[in-house]
Amino acid sequence: MPSNKSVSDAPIVQFTNCRILRSHQLQREDLWVREGKILNPEKLFFDEKGSADIQLDCKDSIIAPGFIDVQINGGFGVDFSLATDDFKSGLDLVSQKILSHGVTSFCPTLVTSPPSVYHQVLPQISIRNGGAHGAGILGAHLEGPFISKEKKGAHPEHCLRTFEAGAFQDLLATYGSLDCVRIVTLAPEMKRSSEVIRELTKQGICVSLGHSVANLSQAEEAVQHGATFITHLFNAMLPFHHRDPGIVGLLTSDKIPAGRRVFYGMISDGIHTNPAALRIAHRAHPKGLVLVTDAIAGMGLAPGRHTLGQQVVEIDGLNTYIAGTKTLSGSVATMDTCVRHFQEATGCSVETALEAASLHPAQLLGIEHKKGTLNYDSDADFLMLNDDLYVQATYIAGEEVWRQDALGM
């Protein structure tokens, strides 16, 4: 039966024999797509008297919203913090490769770097829709250089900066432009950070707390000024202490402004956090958990030495350290691995694990009306997964952009 011509000529695709993640549950419903968006089939039936042009049997797959990675430093040999001549093609390569991990949107992340790097790299990152060419870019995540020396982790000390001289102007001069910046990670205990947080928030940029020795009150103050995210919880911050929980205490703080939620990134690769710690965080504040990969250039490559901005890192299995040290530096886990590990470690439901990588990052960035769900009128960015949460196919705007081939490669 032809689709109704009065509203749109575009073909309507009906994905059948599947379980879709909707309203926090896996439901046995068909997924309808038209013009890159999820379509309401009841409205189509009664208002437009329309029906599907194409019906696809999904062989009982799980259909979930595409994953959104808000902290990824590179992969497949590409390092977003390196101002190379072929930066753009490197960015394109990563965005194309991560489709097979189920990532349909991401924030290319830059670690602490000298201003010259930001000035050369940031203009080459533009916010763009995903498609067959690769996952969509939501904007850059700038992790540093306004972070704590004591908690620099793998970041180069000589590039760290403070706000003391010119606060926001300093930040602007360092980065060059904030046009396509989506998230900034900073240490809130730094002097004048409040004004910076307020200004960034005013400009619609998500402020994240990380690489910091802030205590709980400093962290709460930062949240009151607009901060909404915590960068890789537990890592590069003071450990939880029962008389001063530090940044970790934000998960159960009673000083969060009404109507706001604090989100926190977790690298659930089994290395950055002990599963027990992952469980404690998840149980304390399940709705705020955002899975991130914090993947570095070595992700997707063989073990050995790779760069991370100004540093050299060594990869051995899933472990990545600053060469010659035991300091963790990013990860090589893929997003779908993180989702599976999170589900196993916490024993949570499949729905919860999937939402931690889709709905929650979308909510963090305030884009859940079009990304991160399978609600009607949302962008049709979705995944077909098997029951063990392995990605079988990736779709962006309703088009298949990656499929697991029969040989499992």
170 is catalytic: no
Which helix (H) or strand (E) is 350 found in, with range? helix 350-356
For residue 51, the minimal CB distance to another protein (Å) is 6
Residue span binding another protein (CB under 8 A) among the ranges 49-57, 144-152, 161-169, 356-364: 49-57
For residue 32, the minimal CB distance to another protein (Å) is 10
Number of residues in contact with another protein under rule CB under 8 A: 12
Q: Which of 30, 170, 344, 399 binds another protein (CB under 8 A)?
A: 30
Q: Which of 23, 24, 25, 49 binds another protein (CB under 8 A)?
A: 49
- The β-bridge relationship of strands 136-137 and 103-110 is parallel
CA 314 to chain centroid: 24
* Rounded distance between C-alpha atoms, residue 294 and residue 70, angstroms: 8
Residue span binding another protein (CB under 8 A) among the ranges 44-52, 98-106, 120-128, 130-138: 44-52
Beta bridge partners of 312: 307
Contact status: 179 vs another protein (CB under 8 A): no
Q: Where are the beta strands (DSSP E) in 145-299?
A: 181-186, 206-209, 229-230, 263-266, 289-291
* Rounded distance between C-alpha atoms, residue 279 and residue 92, angstroms: 35
The answer to whether 282 is annotated as binding is no
Contact status: 59 vs another protein (CB under 8 A): no
Quote the DSSP letter at residue 345: H
**Cα–Cα distances in angstroms (integers) from residue 194 to residues 179, 210, 244, 314, in the given order:** 21, 15, 21, 37
Q: Which of 7, 24, 45, 400 binds another protein (CB under 8 A)?
A: 45
Contact status: 1 vs another protein (CB under 8 A): yes
Given the structure tokens 């250039």, which residue do they identify?
A: 297
**Cα–Cα distances in angstroms (integers) from residue 15 to residues 12, 52, 59, 63, 252, in the given order:** 10, 10, 10, 9, 41
The answer to whether 236 is annotated as binding is yes
**Cα–Cα distances in angstroms (integers) from residue 268 to residues 115, 238, 291, 339, in the given order:** 31, 19, 7, 8
Contact status: 46 vs another protein (CB under 8 A): yes
Of 69, 79, 294, 336, the active-site residue reads 294
For residue 20, the minimal CB distance to another protein (Å) is 13
Residue span binding another protein (CB under 8 A) among the ranges 46-54, 244-252, 359-367, 379-387: 46-54
Residue span binding another protein (CB under 8 A) among the ranges 41-49, 70-78, 243-251, 260-268: 41-49
Residues annotated within the binding site for Zn(2+) are 143, 211, 232
Catalytic sites, residue numbers: 294
Q: Where along the sequence are the contacts to another protein (CB under 8 A)?
A: 1, 30, 41-46, 48-51
Residues annotated within the binding site are 143, 154, 211, 232, 235-236, 243, 272, 328-330
